[in-house]
């Protein structure tokens, strides 16, 4: 909340430059409170992080999947143009949205669809602020194909999570998802008014 107040008051450079620390905090909270403590869950989290970095690498270096875009400096250190934190965020979002979806649905196909839809909804809001925040920038904006690819990739990750019978804390998952959604939505309002 303090970052949103700071951004509204015109301290964008200070607060947006701290984004990597916020992402690390969210990841730390997920790891501690989810919890991610057994080897199977740790391996799944690391695998989703690697998959996230891989699909973003394909996207940035080929223009396939998400469109023509590149990452800015406000997501921290990069590997060949891809921030490590974007891979961590793919894992964090898959874990948290999977648990949210499992709370309401029991069919694995519907869980995967609901979880993927939650991820796309967050991406829709993030795409509105990404250029302003220095996260990433599209050449011609994020088109419909970006969201379709997000949904398909997220759907597959959720099916994998379901096959691992991923279990975690619903309240922690909901809070981690909602805090990112609220941040993106309010920042979008701030920059468009």
Q: Is the Cβ–Cβ distance between 92 and 49 less than 8 Å?
A: no
Q: How far apart are CA 192 and CA 40, in angstroms?
A: 44
Name the strand (E) or helix (H) holding 136.
strand 136-138
List CB contacts of 71: < 8 A, sequence separation 6 or more.
Answer: 60, 78, 81, 82, 83, 86, 135, 136
pLDDT (0 to 100) of residue 11: 47
Residue 1 pLDDT > 80, yes or no?
A: no
User: How, if at all, do strands 136-138 and 82-83 pair?
Assistant: unpaired
Highest mean pLDDT among 15-19, 50-54, 188-192: 50-54
Instruction: Kindly state the average pLDDT of the residues 36-45.
Output: 95
Among 154, 158, 160, 168, residue whose Cα is nearest residue 36: 168
Per-residue confidence band for 75, with pLDDT thresholds at 50, 70 and 90:
confident
Instruction: Report the largest interatomic distance among the alpha carbons of the chain, rounded to a whole angstrom.
Output: 47
Digit-coded pLDDT (tens) for 129-154: 888 877 888 888 788 999 999 999 99
pLDDT (0 to 100) of residue 12: 53
Residue 7 pLDDT > 70, yes or no?
A: no
pTM: 0.89
Q: How far apart are CA 145 and CA 117, in angstroms?
A: 14
Q: How far apart are CA 152 and CA 171, in angstroms?
A: 26
């Amino acid at each position: 909340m303090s970052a949103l107040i700071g951004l509204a008051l015109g301290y964008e450079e200070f607060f947006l430059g701290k984004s990597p620390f916020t992402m690390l905090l969210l990841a730390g909270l997920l790891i501690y409170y989810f919890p991610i403590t057994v080897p199977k869950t740790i391996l799944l989290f690391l695998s989703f992080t690697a998959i996230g970095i891989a699909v973003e690498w394909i996207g940035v270096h080929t223009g396939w999947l998400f469109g023509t875009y590149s990452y800015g400096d406000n997501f921290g250190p990069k590997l060949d143009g891809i921030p490590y934190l974007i891979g961590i965020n793919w894992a964090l979002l898959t874990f948290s949205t999977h648990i949210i979806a499992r709370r309401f649905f029991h069919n694995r196909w519907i869980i995967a669809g609901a979880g993927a839809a939650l991820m796309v909804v967050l991406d829709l809001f993030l795409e509105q602020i990404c250029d302003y925040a220095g996260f990433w920038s599209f050449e011609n904006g994020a088109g419909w194909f970006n969201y379709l690819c997000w949904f398909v990739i997220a759907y597959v990750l959720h099916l994998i999570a379901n096959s691992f019978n991923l279990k975690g804390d619903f309240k922690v998952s909901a809070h981690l998802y909602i805090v990112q959604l609220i941040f993106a939505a309010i920042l979008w309002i701030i920059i468009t008014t």
